[in-house]
A and B are shown apart, each in its own frame.
Chain A
């Protein structure tokens, strides 16, 4: 292996980093919004909404993300005239929007289930105690349910963000020049797959290292109640002893 070549490759792959970050960030944020609506539907108690959310989660969790990307990018291309009639062709023509849409819809399915788990993990007794002291629904949600649910959901949600960082590499299949896309291109120019993929892998590894640490720090900050009890004040001992 050639250190100088790897260094150069690394720098060229970094050119794809902004797009990788862009797809990750945008799909995680948009996915969160969709997931909130899905979780709300799921817990609404309205059968039609509940079943819609269940079916959505079933389909998007049960099929590969790659298939979803192909369906949206290539599959919808078959309906070009109708999409043009609806003024949507400008959106579905662009691989960026198709990749972002697929990533968003996919992560929303997983995140809605993570949220549901977090909300359902809030002990009923603690909710009852809040109702018993006269908290309105809004206050109850804001002061008791959400803080507890977020702490419970955070580890699972961290996992999902890590998966999304890696999932953006699938966008390379529909011509997006993010890190993996650039790696492909370099390989076709140089046929040096090992060095190039090691560099690409290292970039994802570094990204996810940072994500992991950020989630860990947040978890630590939000969970003092799950740690050991604060130690009592150290007793002052005479220095001479």
Chain B
């Protein structure tokens, strides 16, 4: 990785515990702009927690996170827990970092179109007409523009996840986080979501994808990171790590997920 340009996201020695359970035990990771990183690991390895720390849905206990070179300022608050120094900074960073969730999390009281324009209009305060035009283009791209006036409850899981991806894209994010985006889908709906994600990867977006889809990790991502018990066990281009894994645990993981 080149040190000449600022990494899109830089994580330094990230630590996080829930009670006595130490989930992240010092994780460091730099993602260059345009990289698509698949984050693999068995359940409990800390991969979702790491992703959620990057946009501060979880506050790390220690370590440093920088998005596009901007370090998220943390301090020890009352009761010794870390908290962001400036909530405004966190909100600002979040508006540049989009997240796609395992359970879609579309807003149930808004139509698909309203879901997509919600944050651009109310968070980024862009003109509504412009946002609607963009939203329709995005919905066309993910193939559900005919559902724009439907409510989330009226869509299949795959359609909901594609709507959620359109909602994420509408923020014009510098970085996209995917938290097991296909894990809640019926097997026959996984393909339609992966196709959209592949097209995003091909246009050079910076993506961190927590996934169990080995095919995606192998064929689409530019880099694979394997977490085990809160530390990075394996890190490298998919061609290398899959053909000659250095970590025995990753070797075992691959054989279990073939």
Do A and B associate with each other?
Answer: yes
Query: Which of B55, B111, B123 interacts with A135 by CB under 8 Å?
Result: B123
Interface set, chain A 185-241, CB cutoff 8 A to B? 224-226, 228-230
Provide the B93-106 mask, 1 if CB < 8 A to any CB of A, else 0.
11111110101111
Q: Are A135 and B91 in contact (CB under 8 A)?
A: yes
Minimum C-beta distance from B170 to chain A (A): 9
A87 close to B (CB within 8 Å): no
Q: A134-B91, A134-B94 are in contact. Are A129 and B105 (CB under 8 A)?
A: yes
- Which of B148-156, B215-223, B227-235 lies on the face that meets chain A? B148-156
Q: Are B108 and A126 in contact (CB under 8 A)?
A: yes
A129 to chain B: closest residue by CB: B105
Interface set, chain B 103-143, CB cutoff 8 A to A? 103-111, 118-119, 122-123
B168 to chain A: closest residue by CB: A133
Q: Are A129 and B91 in contact (CB under 8 A)?
A: no
Counted as pairs of residues, one from A and one from B, with CB atoms less than 8 Å apart, the total is 82
B170 to chain A: closest residue by CB: A133
Q: Provide the residues of chain B in CB contact with A137, threshold 8 Å.
A: 87
Sampled A-B contacts (18; CB under 8 Å)? A125-B104, A125-B105, A126-B106, A128-B57, A129-B101, A129-B106, A131-B57, A132-B94, A133-B168, A134-B94, A134-B96, A135-B123, A143-B122, A148-B107, A225-B108, A225-B110, A229-B151, A230-B154
Residue ranges of B at the interface with A (Cβ–Cβ < 8 Å): 55, 57, 87-88, 91-99, 101, 103-111, 118-119, 122-123, 149-154, 164, 167-168, 171
Apart from A132-B101, A226-B153, what 14 extra A-B contacts exist at CB < 8 Å? A128-B105, A129-B99, A129-B101, A129-B106, A129-B107, A132-B97, A132-B99, A133-B94, A133-B123, A136-B87, A136-B88, A229-B154, A230-B149, A230-B150
